[in-house]
Chain A
Amino acid sequence: MSAESAAALQAGLALAHWTITDLWVASVGMGGSFARTDVALITTGSRDATQPEHDILAAAVNDHLCEQGLDHPVDYWHDL
């Protein structure tokens, strides 16, 4: 599932025009406790995300994209 997770998050990053730092900060706001390097590893598929980790990162991007008028384009774990 890590490849699908990474691909979904990467697509979200591109859509949001976000850097890894942007995603890391937003994930803190979602209750995440990642190191910034973990976010980099997960989004590149270098480390497997757990379901809660993926969903926190997806929620972080989706909340931002929701403000841009997009309807949750980053799949959550159960939709991958």
Chain B
Amino acid sequence: MVDSPLTDSLAALAQFFVGDGTVQQTLKRVSDLTVKSLPQADMVGITMIVEGRQRTAVFTDDTAPEIDQAQYDAGDGPCLSAFHEGRITTIEATSEPGQWMEFRRAAAARGIGSTLSLPLLVDKVSVGAMNLYASAERAFSDADRRTGELFASQAAIVLANAQAYWDAHELSIRLGEAMKNRAVIEQAKGILIGAQGIDEDEAFGLPVRASQRENTKLRDIARRIVANAIARHHTTATEPDVGSNDER
């Protein structure tokens, strides 16, 4: 393969290890490589969308998020269309009338003449979109669109892997925290089962009702049940206290 900005950028993409940086840092590296592979673009914005939410966004210029915000405010625009429809969208000249007028006006007001929006597809599923902005009108040729499509297809895999890696990392931390709460709730249920001879579902229902009545978090009620049980153990009492009133 002949060396070119595209091949250099693709080679750099292939060297990525997604655990080396956060999703934000990976997005930044990819956006910098995008500008290298398509120098007609004056700035780039990349947005990752997970479970319908804009998750992470990065821009090579402070102006880009302001332009992008116009389409998020309107709920429609070339980048969102690229994401939702999984197809390349372009605006040849923002000064001309056409689709996404609100976005065109916002872009033109910030010196953007044309845009190229590329879906980030992994196994035909959109994981985000890449917006390339140029100050010149009609800055992106058909060849540029093909280059952009090729680069975006490789970048999408890197970004999806980065997102998946860090999502899994974050999920493991959140599940670890959840397990700490779970332990105290299970302990409280066990205390109630042992003390009152009720089944597991009833043992969950008692502190639920106490939390409703006292407008207190269930896990705080559970902590209280455990603390009271320990205290009662030291004073040889047997009945756990789940609230100020009789729960049954």
Interface residue ranges, A against B (CB under 8 Å)? 19-21, 25-26, 28-31, 51-52, 55-56, 59, 62-63, 66-67, 71-72, 76
Contacts and interface: CB of A to CB of B under 8 A. Distances in A.
Contact of A66 (B186, B208, B216): B216
Contacts of B211: 59, 62-63, 66, 72
The DSSP consensus for interface residues of chain B is helix
Interface string B204-217: 11001001100111
Complex A-B, nearest 4 residue pairs according to Cβ-Cβ distance, in ascending order: A29-B178, A29-B181, A28-B178, A19-B51
Contacts of A29: 177-182, 185, 219
Contacts of B189: 31
Contacts, number: 60
A55 B181 contact: no
B139 interface: no
B179 A52 contact: no
A31 B208 contact: no
Interface in B149-203: 171, 174-175, 177-182, 185-186, 189, 200-201
Contacts of A76: 208, 212
B218 interface: yes
15 contacts: A29-B180, A29-B181, A29-B182, A29-B185, A30-B185, A31-B185, A31-B189, A31-B204, A52-B200, A52-B204, A59-B208, A63-B219, A66-B216, A66-B217, A76-B208
A72 B143 CA distance: 57
A36 B205 CA distance: 23
A56 B201 CA distance: 10
B215 A71 contact: yes
A59 B177 CA distance: 16
Contacts of A30: 181-182, 185, 218
Contacts of B201: 51-52
B216 to A, nearest CB: 7
B215 A21 contact: no
Contacts of B178: 25-26, 28-29
A21 B211 CA distance: 24
B178 to A, nearest CB: 3
Nearest to A63: B217
B53 interface: yes
